[in-house]
């Protein structure tokens, strides 16, 4: 089964909404992906940026897979890295090669932009994601910390 995989442009707001629906469902996180969605102008600006990549896998009009990534310009050398922030495939379409195809598309886009590497995080216990990423690249053991932002009063 082949799926149409393509980057989302500022004119693809309906597909962007479907991508957010997919992430909300796949990650069981309605609060993050549905309660405060970006407005039209914000979404258009985001999708127009060279520093943001949204890919969607379509089965007809349905978004059945997707990826959101950020291009990070490095300071120590004139190069960039691409960080996969979210990657999900609808449960009904898993084990069909969609995640691998999304990453292959991202690899081409990253190469076109002169990126040095693509990196991604996976949670302990998310064995399917870990297996996918290990099949595509080298595993590194790192610690991840969330540091809260303090607002001046």
Q: Does residue 144 lie within any of the structural domains? A: no
Task: Residue 14: give the domain boundaries.
Answer: 4-136
Which residues are bridge partners to 119 per DSSP? 83
pLDDT value, residue 87: 96
Asked if 66 contacts 54 with a C-beta cutoff of 8 angstroms, the reply is yes
Q: Does residue 150 lie within any of the structural domains? A: no
Q: Does residue 93 lie within any of the structural domains? A: yes
Q: Does residue 141 lie within any of the structural domains? A: no
Rounded CA gap, 88 and 68, in Å? Answer: 9
The two three-digit tokens of residue 108, written as one number: 């081409």
Q: What is the DSSP letter of 91?
A: G
Greater model confidence, 114 or 153: 114
pLDDT value, residue 131: 67
CATH, residue 119: 3.40.630.30
Q: Does residue 8 lie within any of the structural domains? A: yes
Rounded CA gap, 18 and 96, in Å? Answer: 20
Asked if 8 contacts 55 with a C-beta cutoff of 8 angstroms, the reply is yes
pTM to 2 decimals?
0.85
Q: Does residue 143 lie within any of the structural domains? A: no
The two three-digit tokens of residue 110, written as one number: 């990253």
Rounded CA gap, 104 and 18, in Å? Answer: 21
Q: Structural domain tally of the chain?
A: 1
Instruction: For residue 68, give the 3-state DSSP assignment.
Output: strand
Residues whose CB falls within 8 Å of the CB of residue 132, separated by 6 or more in sequence, listed in order: 99, 100, 103
pLDDT value, residue 135: 66
Model pLDDT for residues 32-87, shown as the tens digit of each residue: 999 999 999 999 999 999 999 999 999 999 999 999 999 999 999 888 999 999 99
pLDDT value, residue 103: 94
pLDDT value, residue 132: 66
């Amino acid at each position: 089964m082949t799926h149409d995989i393509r980057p989302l442009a500022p004119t693809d707001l309906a597909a962007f909404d479907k991508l957010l629906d997919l992430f909300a469902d796949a990650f069981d996180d309605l609060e993050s992906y549905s309660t405060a969605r970006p407005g039209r102008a914000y979404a258009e600006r985001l999708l127009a940026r060279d520093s943001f990549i949204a890919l969607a896998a379509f089965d007809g009009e349905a978004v059945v897979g997707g990826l959101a990534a950020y291009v990070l310009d490095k300071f120590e050398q004139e190069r960039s890295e691409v960080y996969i922030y979210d990657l999900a495939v609808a449960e009904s379409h898993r084990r069909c090669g969609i995640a691998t195809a999304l990453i292959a598309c991202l690899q081409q886009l990253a190469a076109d932009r002169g990126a040095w590497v693509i990196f991604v995080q996976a949670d302990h216990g998310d064995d399917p994601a870990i297996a996918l990423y290990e099949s595509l690249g080298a595993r590194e053991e790192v610690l991840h910390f969330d540091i809260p932002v303090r607002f001046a009063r």
